[in-house]
Chain A
Amino acid sequence: MTTTPPSPGCCAEFESASRLSRRRLLQGMAAATGAGVATSVFGDAFRQTAFAATAGGNVLVVISLRGGIDGLGMVVPHADPAYYTARPSIAVPRESLVAQDAFYGLHPQLAPLEWLFTSGELAAVQAVGLQVPNRSHFSAMEEIEDADPGSAERRGWVNRMIGLDGEDDPTDAIHLTSSIVPTMLSGLEPAVAVSRIGDVALVGADDGDKAEWASRRRRQLDLMWKGGSGGVHGAYRSAVRTVDKLSPVARSTYAPLVAYPRVWPAIGLSDALQDTAQLIKADVGTEVVSIDYGSWDMHNDYGTLAWGDMQRMIGGFATTLDAFMRDLGDLRSRVTVVTISEFGRRVKENGNRGLDHGWGNMMLVAGGGVKGGAYYGSWPGLGSGDQVDDDLQVTTDYRNVLGEVITRRFPDRSIAGVFPGLPYAPVNLMH
């Protein structure tokens, strides 16, 4: 999309943004046409107005199931007898599965999400992953999140994606659950990583500080950081922009429409999804929220339906995601949730009722734009001749799932820009 700046010399930043997203365009138009805002284009008042005026941007929520989740135990191929042969003590019995079709069914602890499957807002893809097996947690995570195998540059796919929106707002992508920017958000474009939204705060000009001291603190910092460009100076300006934009959200008390689970192991996920719902409702324009939920590295104590880490972790996931989706209400149509994990696990159980590192995995896609109520992906089979080094084969490049979500939900981003060199072949799971 291109456009002519509404008034010459309106603002250099606007002019330079020749690749405009819809949101960016509306921001610019608000600047040019909104009464009384043109003079302080980038002041706080403008921001509030602009964002209030541009409700309706889509949001992608990426939940990283770290540690390598067992996709076969989440999205169970009940019609493949090899699944039951390989797992004599930990297979999920067919009769317990929810949302069954003739071949697949979901782990019974996913029952809280069955309504989404039934209403067509939840889909699963099987046998997805990296094109070449990588069974190292660290390097597989890097590879999945960098998602640009041809390049030595460390820049993640979310960073490339937000880099294509024609602006450099540091709150375009936010990572919750830790203050370390994960690889998928790392790179050229500023992005924010915080444990909780409440952490977005400038020490000394915070909630607990009296207004006079907060104002002195901010003026003091602006004075010390005045001038200078790029590097730490640019980072300082990004930091205060982030605070200005998010601190009203960070400081407000959020009252969700439904109660989120408050029990281990879902507390971190519960906090993060509540923060995400709050951000979405505040409509600050964030496009991508990244959340970690793990660990799924179950070499032992994977367990059965009655006990063990797997059923407990899935239960935490499902009850929390259920609360989030209900809490969003109608806003769900703007929000697409995708899960990802660095690798799947061995088909065959090990001697400790657990599963070692494997290859092929599943992804869940829920919310806005999803052609739900169905299972996608080409099943490679679990027969001895079908496995690769005892693992489920990958038949769908995970980038094609993400690529399709991005293409459908953020049509102004080029797939080649987000996933360079990907032979794009959509799975057709999005409207």
Chain B
Amino acid sequence: MPVKPYAPTKTPTSGQRHLMNRMGCGYSRSTFTQMRAAGSPRNWFEQQLDPSSVKESARARDLSSWFPDLRESPSTKWQKQEDGTKLAWSYAADLGSYSMMRRVYSRRQVLETMVDFWSNALHVHAGTDLAWVHRSSYDDLLRRHALGRFDDLLVEATLHPAMLLYLDNWRSTRRAPNENHGRELLELHTVGRSAGYSEQMVKDSAKILSGYTVDTFASWQPFYSGSRHATGPVTVLGFSAANSSRDGAELAREYLRYLARHPLTAQNIARKLARYFVSDNPSAKLIGDLAKVFTASGTDIKATLRALVAHPEFKAARGTLVRTPVEDFVATCRVLQVVAEKPTSNASFARAAIWVPKATLLYQWPRPDGAPTGDAAWASASRMLSSFRMHWNLIGGWWPRQQVDYRSGGSWLPKRKLRFDEYVDHLCRMMLGKPSTPRILSAAVVATGCSPKTQITKSHAVATSLHVRLIGVLLDSPDHMRR
């Protein structure tokens, strides 16, 4: 079926679209405009790497005030949970919804993407046991360092009370250092299991970290306790120390910086970046190339991302990664230009957001290894059925429907009257960022029963009762389900 283009609706090049979909939270008209204003995709990316240089959207600036409870002190949060005023799950839901709204509305798209990346690479469950009281300040920390240097990030994240609570380091005592954190630090956050560290090294890792604890069930403030620090010689993968002082605070920092700069950490972070941004099965060459830059730059995250974006394997891998349900939600809101308003209840769009993707709640993956990406986790039957339903709910504005503006079907018409095939082409450009294809046009014809020549106006069924079916063709498609 030959496509009749609707040329006035400009589209990004496939390279521009790729950059928005991979390094940002998904193609949108506003990011396309932003990219064009930057002069070139390269300029846009450079601006994005310096988020403070990018003027934030008004809505994104307001978001923090939409979720005031997140700013309460840890002891207030705990007290509210104790007296039943507001429970841990509700704070966790707030953080998830807040983060999803940021991804939809922020103009600092690369920052938001990297916050997601680090939130999983250095995962702290937002609703679990005790860590939840500090989870929103942990999010602030990840934001501060997301585009900085990994060694700084690792030190701060490891010693943050949220992480100390999540991985039990706060329980460590001089006689019985809790090995949970010491192990995950090696396995998940730095060198990886293939580094071949011994059980003794895990114990030494725990010894080094012991002493960093939290004043639980009281002020909830982190503090260093020399009496909880396990002294005695330690050796972990080439890092050795006599560790004779009761004050091991600085030793732990040295150890963390050592691990951050370890060549196997470079490999591990490079692999995670390559999986997140390039392919479920990245090549050894890509991982090696990124690891080299990571190490040579002193664990500079920006330098590593520049190398990633310039890499031929990144450029070649267009539209091949499955979107996670959360990414799908964000990308869908962006193309549909859904406008959330300040929430007034849990049913408001901005606060209900976390429940909409119908998958593991954002920042609530049940294990310390962080939520997965890729086909193995997300290319499943139930996921497809639930994402299709989510698309229709959002296209139709059916749920969540409070404190939100959805665009009506008729509002998408670019002029008073045009042919169906032109309209489909226009919608493709708006929703997918590219012109229609004969296949898409045929599917649109099948879905609506229109002929390509049918004249569409605001009162036509295609702009009213069939609107959801038509947009459904575009969003329930491989093009939109992948990035």
Contact = CB atoms under 8 A, between A and B. Distances in A.
Contacts of B129: 136-137
A188 B391 CA distance: 26
Interface string B449-483: 10000000000000000001100110011100110
Interface string B435-450: 0000110111011110
B472 A204 contact: yes
B309 interface: no
Contact of B447 (A152, A203, A220, A243): A220
B360 interface: yes
Contacts of B380: 181, 190-191, 235, 238
Contact of A235 (B379, B443, B446, B473): B379
Contact of B385 (A152, A201, A219): A201
A192 B366 contact: no
B386 interface: yes
B125 interface: yes
A223 B446 contact: yes
Contacts of B473: 220, 224
A193 B360 CA distance: 12
B61 interface: no
A217 B447 CA distance: 6
Nearest to B367: A142
A230 interface: yes
A152 to B, nearest CB: 7
B197 interface: no
A267 interface: no
B10 interface: no
Contacts of B381: 170, 190, 192, 235, 238-239, 241-242
B246 interface: no
A228 interface: yes
A136 B377 CA distance: 23
- B-side interface mostly: helix
A141 B384 CA distance: 26
25 contacts: A136-B129, A138-B128, A139-B367, A141-B366, A142-B367, A183-B366, A192-B381, A193-B382, A200-B385, A219-B446, A220-B469, A223-B446, A224-B477, A226-B439, A228-B478, A231-B375, A232-B375, A232-B379, A234-B379, A235-B381, A238-B381, A238-B384, A239-B381, A242-B382, A243-B385
Interface centre among B384, B439, B440 (most CB of A within 10 A): B384
Interface in B295-352: 322
B7 to A, nearest CB: 24
Contacts of B440: 224
Contacts of B358: 179-180
B193 A152 contact: yes
B174 interface: no
Interface string B382-402: 111110110110000000000
A194 B392 contact: no
A203 B442 CA distance: 20
Interface residues of B, number: 45
A251 interface: no
B206 to A, nearest CB: 16
A239 B384 contact: yes
B418 interface: no
Contacts of B125: 138
A223 B443 contact: yes
Interface in A203-256: 203-204, 213, 216-217, 219-221, 223-226, 228, 230-236, 238-239, 241-243
Interface of B: 125, 128-129, 193, 322, 358-360, 366-368, 372, 375-377, 379-386, 388-389, 391-392, 439-440, 442-444, 446-449, 468-469, 472-473, 476-478, 481-482
Contact of A180 (B359, B379, B442, B481): B359
A216 B482 contact: no
A202 interface: yes
Given A142-B366, A242-B381, 18 more contacts: A137-B128, A138-B125, A138-B366, A179-B382, A181-B382, A190-B380, A192-B381, A202-B385, A204-B472, A221-B443, A224-B477, A226-B439, A230-B379, A232-B375, A232-B482, A235-B375, A241-B381, A242-B382
Nearest to A183: B366
A224 B476 CA distance: 9
Contacts of A203: 385, 388-389, 391-392, 472
Interface in A170-199: 170, 179-181, 183, 186-188, 190-194, 199
B101 to A, nearest CB: 22
Contacts of B448: 216
A223 B445 CA distance: 11
Nearest to A223: B443
A236 B129 CA distance: 37
Contacts of B377: 186
B147 to A, nearest CB: 30
A216 B366 contact: no
A232 B478 contact: yes
Contact of B446 (A179, A186, A216): A216
Contacts of A230: 375, 379
Nearest to B479: A224
A192 B384 CA distance: 11
Interface in A344-360: none
Contacts of A199: 385
B478 A233 contact: yes
A271 to B, nearest CB: 17
Q: Which 3 pairs, one residue from A and one from B, show the smallest C-beta to C-beta distance?
A: A238-B381, A235-B379, A220-B447
Nearest to B473: A220
